[in-house]
Amino acid sequence: MDLAALISAKRFLGQEFLAWLWFKSDTSGGALSTVTFGDVELSFMHHMQLETGEGEFQEKVTCRGLKSQLQEARAGLVLGKKPEQVRMKVVIEGREWYFTLSGGLFEFRNVKIPKNLGLMTGAMDRSAAEGDMLLRLDALEEISRLVNELFTLFLRVRTSGDWDKEIRAIRDWITKPS
């Protein structure tokens, strides 16, 4: 199996991860506990793309809205649609990241790093500019490590004997009025 076919065959894991993460964040008030980062806040912003089908039969729907609380996206889950792209806000120790995450490829888009990193502003010399770049890269690496850790947590649950119980809880959450 070539790489493109393998990615296509396994993309459901990323989509299940996004649905699981949405469920976990929604049912825990946004608080998630991690080994490396401690308690983090995770919220799904008011933008989500769902998809269903494959190839020429693939359909995508984008749900947006400030007050919708993603109700249309939850209704899509009931119909078997899977989250493919979500806009998220993550807070680690008071620092906020905003980004869009693609489930199929784990691609980060439109990443906004925390504002309180201590970046220099205004006229800078070369070493200050290099320092700013390193701080920005470190912030990108940190959010990537967090998403990887959350995916590892998901895989542990997904491959455990508790997955059936988790699926029932997710189905109850999907059908519960928001």
Closest Cα to residue 80, out of 26, 146, 19? 19
For each of the chain's 178 residues, which pLDDT tens digit applies? 788 777 777 888 999 999 999 999 999 999 999 999 999 999 998 889 998 877 777 788 888 876 556 778 888 888 889 999 999 999 999 999 999 999 988 899 999 999 877 666 555 677 777 777 888 899 999 999 999 999 999 999 999 999 999 999 999 999 887 6
What does the pLDDT read at residue 5? 79
DSSP letter at 66 equals: S
161, two tokens: 């004997």
Going from the C-alpha of 135 to that of each of 95, 125, 142, the distances in angstroms are: 13, 16, 10
Query: Is the CB of residue 36 less than 8 Å from the CB of residue 149?
Result: yes
* Structural domain for 132, as ranges: 3-175
DSSP letter at 104 equals: T
What does the pLDDT read at residue 69? 63
Statement: the pTM of the whole predicted model exceeds 0.85? yes
Query: Is the CB of residue 81 less than 8 Å from the CB of residue 61?
Result: yes
What does the pLDDT read at residue 123? 53
DSSP letter at 80 equals: T
CB atoms near residue 146 (< 10 Å): 19
Spatial separation of the C-alpha atoms in residues 26 and 173, rounded to whole Å = 9
Residue 10, Cα to own-chain centre: how many angstroms? 17
- Domain count across the chain: 1
